[in-house]
Amino acid sequence: MLKLASKVLAAAAIATATIVGFTSSPAMAVTYDTGHIDVLDVDYSGGTVTLDMRTYSPANDDVSPATNSIRLHPLDAYDLVVTSSSGSWPCVGALNSTVYVAPASVPSGDTRVWPGWNTEDVPTANRPVTIELVSVSGPGHVTLYNMTGLPAAPSVVLSSSSASGCAKSSFSIGSTPHGHANWAFSASGNYQITFKATVTGGATSGNVVYNFTIG
């Protein structure tokens, strides 16, 4: 009887250790809140499309969006007051509203998050790559845009905005596989953004959820 009890206790100890090991794994997750990061990093090999993130310091082109997140902090380093209602500015935010923008480029020494995309690991024969904005869950809308023309005005890349003429659910990455845009969030808080990548030929990553904290 004592031997049986000992075996039961040993088995319980092993099960407990396994459970503890499993539940502690999220502690390995990393929040990226500074520097250059390609949020949309597409790889294609052996018929499989992978959509993840790429960092540069340290260099890692297989950062999982499922267990890692991006944060814009402090807010006053990213805030922008929308001072125009012309052109595509309403897609970024309402007139006189404050939005939070991760910039398309930064000067030397700037430590803000600088987000981009990368399809360098997709063979030329399988480009262009289509990026689809599937859904946004959060306190506001998200718009990716570049500044063009004189005077400079937003050119929308992707947007979940419900403002007239703003919603844009996909864009194509062609002969220039590495690029950047401004990422604008219309309110602070937590966002879950679902993207999908599809290469020429039809292979797709399926839906991939990214986590952003603004503030």
Q: CA–CA distance from 146 to each of 52, 113, 153 (Å)?
A: 22, 16, 8
Q: What's the pLDDT score for residue 28?
A: 59
Q: Residue 27 has what pLDDT? A: 44
Among 96, 104, 194, 210, residue whose Cα is nearest residue 154: 104
Residue 55 has a pLDDT of 96
pLDDT at 5: 42
**What pLDDT is attached to residue 151?**
86
3-state secondary structure 54-118: EEECCEEEEECCCCCEEEECCHHHCEEECCCCCCCHHHHCCCCCEEEEECCCCCCCCCCEEEEEE
Residue 197 CA neighbour count, 13 Å, CB half: 26
Query: How many other β-carbons are positioned within 10 Å of the β-carbon of residue 140?
Result: 20
Q: How many CA atoms lie within 13 A of 212 on its CB side?
A: 28
Per 3-state DSSP, the chain is made up of helix, strand and coil in percentages (nearest 5) of 15, 45, 35
Which pLDDT score, from 0 to 100, does residue 156 have?
Answer: 98
pLDDT value of residue 11: 40
* pLDDT by position in tens, the chain (length 215): 434 344 433 444 333 333 233 333 344 589 999 999 999 999 999 999 999 999 998 999 999 999 999 999 999 999 999 999 999 999 999 999 999 999 999 999 999 999 999 999 999 999 999 999 999 999 999 999 999 998 889 999 999 999 999 999 999 999 999 999 999 999 999 999 999 999 999 999 999 999 999 99
11 Ramachandran zone, left/alpha/beta (phi>0; psi -120 to 50): alpha
* pLDDT at 150 (0 to 100): 84
* Residue-range domain boundaries for the chain: 33-214
Nearest alpha-carbon partner for 212 in 64, 35, 31: 31
* pTM for this model (two decimals): 0.86
The answer to whether the CB of 139 falls within 8 A of the CB of 188 is: yes
Q: Per the structure block, which two tokens stand in for 68? A: 């890692």
